[in-house]
Amino acid sequence: MDAQMEKEYVKGGSFLIEERTASEIFTPEDLDEEQRMIGETTREYVNNEVRPNLEALEKHDWQLARDLVAKAGELGLLGANIPEEYGGLELNQTTGVVVAENMGGSSGFGVTYGAQTSIGLLPILYFGSEELKQKYIPPIISGEMITAYCLSEAGSGSDALGAKCSAKLSEDGTYYTLNGEKMWISNGGFADVYIVFAKVDGVKEKFSAFVVERSENCRPGNEEHKM
């Protein structure tokens, strides 16, 4: 009986093309108190911390960007859906969406936030070894470490397998050497760690991702001015 009384919502975007009653569609009024509070915290952060600094961010004040990411980390906004064992809050996906939605008013900083919490983090969470997870996830969601996702190149983007970046395993099998360039990388100019996609031995069937820390051998080029 309890299971039958539990409210069932329409999944995905089917409500756009199907006949549905209002009661079947999840709306902001269905958020619980905790989710509303997290949403309000996010809005206050964006309005008080980010929006007054949009002009400086547009002029590439990357230290300011780092400081804002760290502030978001202090508020728990970078690890809403991350397991507690790695320092996250382990909240449900709906709560994560509440945070992301309220970040929408942060202009270009929303891209910095998105790279930090999604494409620059989730590959490690989903596919990394336990050692990589323990090393990188806690400082990423605290904002101590900035991350970036390096897929696009000057000659490839959505066509991921068109990438030229290559990786070669050392003769003793202890490390890979990567060669290539990436372009249009969100957070690339000030990141500490990069998720870099490359073809092992230049073979597309061996397309993989590597966690690469910034160093003299892995560094950003000139910043492109973007809209």
CATH number for the domain that contains residue 160: 2.40.110.10
What average pLDDT does the chain have? 92
In a domain, 2, yes or no: no
Please tell me the pTM assigned to this model.
0.88
In a domain, 46, yes or no: yes
Report residue 23 as tokens. 């009661």
Confidence of residue 5 (pLDDT cuts 50, 70, 90): very low
Confidence of residue 1 (pLDDT cuts 50, 70, 90): very low
Q: Please state, for a pLDDT cut of 70, what percent of the chain lies above it.
A: 95
3-state SS, one letter per residue, for 89-103:
CCCCHHHHHHHHHHH
In a domain, 4, yes or no: no
Task: Break the chain down into helix, strand, coil percent, rounded to 5.
Answer: 45, 15, 40
CA dist 93 and 98 (Å) reads: 9
pLDDT for 154-189, tens place per residue? 999 889 999 999 999 999 999 999 999 999 999 999
Q: Are 66 and 74 in contact (CB under 8 A)?
A: no
- Give the bridge partners for 211, in sequence order: 195
Supply the CATH number for residue 116's domain.
1.10.540.10
How many domains does the chain fold into? 2
> Pick from 136, 35, 135, 132: which is nearest to 89 by CA?
35
Select from 145, 171, 193 the last residue of a domain.
145
CB crowding 187-222: b at 16 or more within 10 Å, else e: bbbbbbbbbbbbbbeeeeeeeebebbebeeeeebee
Structural domain including 68 reads 28-145
141 and 111 together in one domain: yes
Select from 145, 160, 189 the last residue of a domain.
145
In a domain, 9, yes or no: no
In a domain, 17, yes or no: no
Q: Exposed, middle or buried by CB within 10 Å (0-12, 13-18, 19+), for 156?
A: middle
Select from 116, 145, 174 the last residue of a domain.
145
48 and 141 together in one domain: yes
Q: What length does the chain have?
A: 227
